[in-house]
């Protein structure tokens, strides 16, 4: 009897648990985040950090009388991928992370690298070993070292523009998408349509409010990075502001498109995460896009966050003029215009 009573008391718990499980299974968004998203995330990171044979380390050899001999010696080692370049070009490549080390035209050679980067320290060992061997014996010379510690060449300098771009993307898309769907669920959009106002005024108000907060967020992050992290702003503030504005409008348009049809918070959440997930991983926020295979590069370069991150780094770290950033800005403008046009065309007011 006691066992029967305990089972009777437990029956509601079992039934309620079964009901909650059934409700979850009816939500495609929940199934996506429980099962599909972890697999996609793992697959993307596996591609970025895939196991493969050790690739030659890219290095630059400063152009000069002995440059060709050093290039040949490094290439013969099989562990270094050298290229000859003038000093200024080699400096830019080292700053941007396209090469791990520069062999300066001195005798004995000087190794110019960033000691905070693991690949640079590895390159220093590989290059020294190859040149020592080419000289006829081990330790034929003692190379000098020149560490690159200038502002704009550190990992934090690479990271901050990526975080700024990610912030513009996330707040632009999520704020617009959530607010519009919440008003649709609460029947507010239907009431606003009946009110003495034009529809474009309502949408413009959403966009205007979002831009006000975006301006404050960008200013706060840039000031923090500049004063506390010593991250440089090599280009003009006006150029940085314009690039941020174009990027923000592009993602606001994408947010409008994603919020055009959903009738539930779960629905818009799934769409937004599905759209932003590839950009979190592939657009060079935390590490270079060059980690991914060449076959993926056209798709990666077409993503709006990739274009925004490249443009922000161009302004902040390289003082690139807007004319040099025309391809990146064109990608952002196309995404923004197409998203706004399609979003307004299919927008559901009730």
Residues 63 and 102: their CA atoms lie apart, in Å, by: 11
CA dihedral angle for residue 294, residue 298, residue 303, residue 309, rounded to 10 degrees: 60
Q: Which residues pair with 30 in a beta bridge?
A: none
CA neighbor of 177 nearest in space, from 215, 214, 210, 216? 210
The residue ranking higher by pLDDT, 174 or 62, is 62
Lowest-confidence pick of 100-109, 138-147, 214-223, 269-278: 138-147
- pLDDT reading at 154 higher than 90: no
Instruction: Grade residue 24 by pLDDT with cuts at 50, 70 and 90.
Output: low
Q: Is residue 183 very low, low, confident or very high in pLDDT (cuts 50, 70, 90)?
A: confident
User: Strand 110-113 vs strand 144-147: parallel, antiparallel, or unpaired?
Assistant: parallel
Confidence of residue 147 (pLDDT cuts 50, 70, 90): low
- Hey, how many other C-beta atoms are within 10 angstroms of the C-beta on 249? 23
The DSSP line for 253-279 is HHHHHHTSS--SHHHHHHHHHHHHHHH
> 99 and 59 in contact (C-beta within 8 Å)?
yes
> What tens digit of pLDDT does each residue of 30-70 get?
555 555 655 665 555 555 555 456 678 889 999 988 899 99
Map out the domains of the chain with their CATH numbers.
57-147 (3.40.190.10), 155-346 (no CATH)
Calpha distance 237→5 (Å, rounded): 74
Distance CA 284, CA 48 (A): 11
Instruction: Determine the distance from the C-alpha atom of residue 135 to the mean position of all C-alpha atoms in its chain, rounded to a whole number.
Output: 43
Give the whole-angstrom CA distance, residue 27 versus residue 30. Answer: 5
Q: What is the mean pLDDT of the chain?
A: 77
């Amino acid at each position: 009897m006691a066992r029967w009573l305990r089972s009777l008391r437990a029956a509601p718990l079992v039934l309620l648990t079964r009901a909650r499980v059934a409700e979850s299974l009816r939500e495609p968004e929940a199934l996506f985040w429980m099962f599909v998203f972890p697999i996609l995330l793992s697959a993307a990171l596996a591609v970025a950090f895939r196991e493969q044979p050790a690739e030659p380390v890219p290095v630059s050899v400063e152009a000069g009388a002995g440059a060709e001999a050093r290039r040949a010696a490094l290439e013969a080692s099989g562990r270094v991928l050298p290229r000859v370049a003038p000093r200024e070009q080699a400096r830019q490549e080292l700053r941007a992370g396209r090469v791990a080390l520069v062999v300066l035209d001195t005798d004995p050679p000087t190794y110019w690298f960033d000691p905070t980067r693991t690949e640079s320290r590895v390159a220093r060992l590989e290059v020294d070993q190859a040149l020592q061997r080419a000289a006829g014996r081990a330790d034929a010379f003692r190379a000098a070292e020149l560490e690159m510690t200038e502002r704009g060449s550190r990992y934090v300098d690479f990271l901050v523009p990526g975080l700024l771009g990610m912030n513009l993307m996330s707040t632009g898309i999520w704020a617009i998408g959530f607010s519009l769907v919440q008003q649709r669920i609460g029947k507010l959009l239907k009431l606003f349509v009946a009110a003495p106002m034009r529809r474009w005024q309502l949408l413009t108000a959403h966009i205007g409010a979002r831009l006000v907060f975006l301006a404050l967020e960008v200013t706060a992050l840039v000031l923090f990075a500049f004063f506390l992290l010593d991250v440089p702003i090599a280009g003009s503030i006006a150029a940085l502001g314009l690039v941020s504005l174009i990027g923000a409008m592009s993602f606001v348009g994408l947010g409008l498109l994603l919020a055009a049809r959903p009738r539930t918070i779960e629905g818009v959440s799934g769409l937004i995460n599905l759209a932003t997930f590839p950009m979190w991983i592939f657009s060079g926020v935390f590490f270079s896009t060059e980690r991914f295979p060449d076959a993926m590069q056209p798709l990666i370069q077409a993503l709006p966050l990739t274009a925004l991150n490249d443009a922000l780094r161009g302004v902040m770290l390289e003082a690139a003029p807007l004319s040099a950033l025309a391809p990146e800005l064109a990608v952002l403008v196309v995404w923004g215009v197409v998203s706004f046009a399609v979003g307004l065309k299919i927008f559901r007011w009730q």
